[in-house]
Structure 1
């Protein structure tokens, strides 16, 4: 490694370590200050959801080897702090351990599942967790936190958390090796959540593969197959949508899907 490359790597690592320390400090303050806890956790969630500015992006991308890159999707090329940190905690798991310990102590608080999902959505599928109870707790919190942040995108008609959605869809739901790391009941919950938001995050092209990977549900003999579960979740989602542009987006995506299915049947 050249001296310049080594210097860039050190600079990037130092920046990520500093971010981690700031997260730890805010979690510690939240733990010590019950009256300020909700505000501190909300602020922390907002901080890690922010898009990385140009200066920070240069430091991070020049200092990380083989990992972090902005989304290649033309619709959303943003790089957020949670993208950066989620990759960092996979590469260096011990760097996120103190944050994880503090999150567990704050487990029942509002915004904690949001923070956990953003920071550790990759970590949970890449580390070895031998305690079934802990794995169930973490994976359930991941699904709950992901649901919460996806709804924030729905309510604001934005896609700040599109990279999280696409990771859970493309790298987990469609990848049995990762999917099978979490308990079956959480797998089912994950597929139901993804069903509700797949139109919103413009991932209809993955729908056929998604339906083929659907886990078996105990009540399938009453409801039907994967397509039936998917339709039920989408119908329920449509009833809950209050933001008109989002509702119109769903309807337009459904119309395109119907046209594609008609053409496939015709051919």
Structure 2
């Protein structure tokens, strides 16, 4: 390491108790920790844990601002570490597990679903796997928990659009129910999630796509529950009327254009 880098690292160690230090460490030394040989297990555990914690914090900064300033860091940890056993095995097993859980929460946000299959194959073994399930179960649980924490509407809509890649994934019944419950919580107005209309529709689309069985009873039950929120009736009626008018207008336009095309075709013939 260059002398200037060593001075920065020494300063970080002195300020280790400060909350912002892990952010700086993750951004500056995320490659260094996998390129050097640290013989002290305690130091390695401290540095690697700080890397995962700092990466989590900066990823949340991107979430809150709906930006992807730290996408390069995410891609490095995913493609160059998680999918590369030679680098991954340089950090303790517990930190490997924490890293995979963190990457699971943000893989949709950073548009890396094309790596999902390889990512799940590299998932480390967890001590409670016999209770939770396989790598897919751990992944879906983290995604469901992440959805519950999201408060930025564009980010939440992005997750709900990306989550459809989970179709066909083999999950335990408890995991499947957990995901279904999570999505269902976004389909009704009011607490505890207070989703917007766009989020509710996106959640319904994802729920019906992933769990087509029982979708009609779900919609009927949801309709009855909507009656519990009378303050939403005016907006619901207005949205229904506007949607109906748009549908009628589009139908009329299609009829007019198709008739016009037929007239032009007859004239040309």
Instruction: Give TM class, smaller chain.
Output: 0.5 to 0.7
Identify which of structures 1 and 2 has the higher relative contact order when contacts are C-alpha pairs closer than 8 Å and 6+ apart: 1
How far did 1:260 drift? Answer: 10
Give the distance between the partners of 1:94 and 1:176, measured in 2 at CA: 30
Q: Tell me, which stretches of 5 or more residues in structure 2 are unaligned? A: 171-208, 210-269
Stretch deviating more after TM superposition (115-124 or 95-104): 95-104
Counterpart in the other structure of 1:168: 77
Q: Which runs of 4+ in 1 moved over 6 A?
A: 259-262
Residue aligning to 2:203 = none
Match of 1:124 in 2: 33
CA distance in 2, matches of 1:200, 1:225: 23
Which of 138, 162, 183 is matched with 1:253 structurally? 162
Matches within 5 A, 1:53-64: none
Matched, 1:190 2:99: yes
Structure 1 segment 1-267 matched on structure 2, within 5 A: 92-256=1-165, 258=167
| 2:194 aligned residue | none
Whether the aligned pair in 1 keeps the contact of 2:136 and 2:169 (CA below 8 Å) is no
Return 5+ residue gaps in structure 1 as ranges.
1-91, 263-267
Residue by residue over 1:92-146, the C-alpha shift from the partner in whole angstroms, topping out at 9 and shown as x without a partner, is 5444111000000000102110000000000000011010000000000000000
Are the equivalent residues in 2 in contact too, given 1:93–1:123 (CA < 8 A)? no
Deviations 1:216-244 (A, max 9, x none): 00000000000000000000000000000
Cα 1:180–1:109 change in 2 (3 A) is same
TM (norm. structure 2) is 0.61
C-alpha root-mean-square deviation of aligned residues, in Å?
1.7
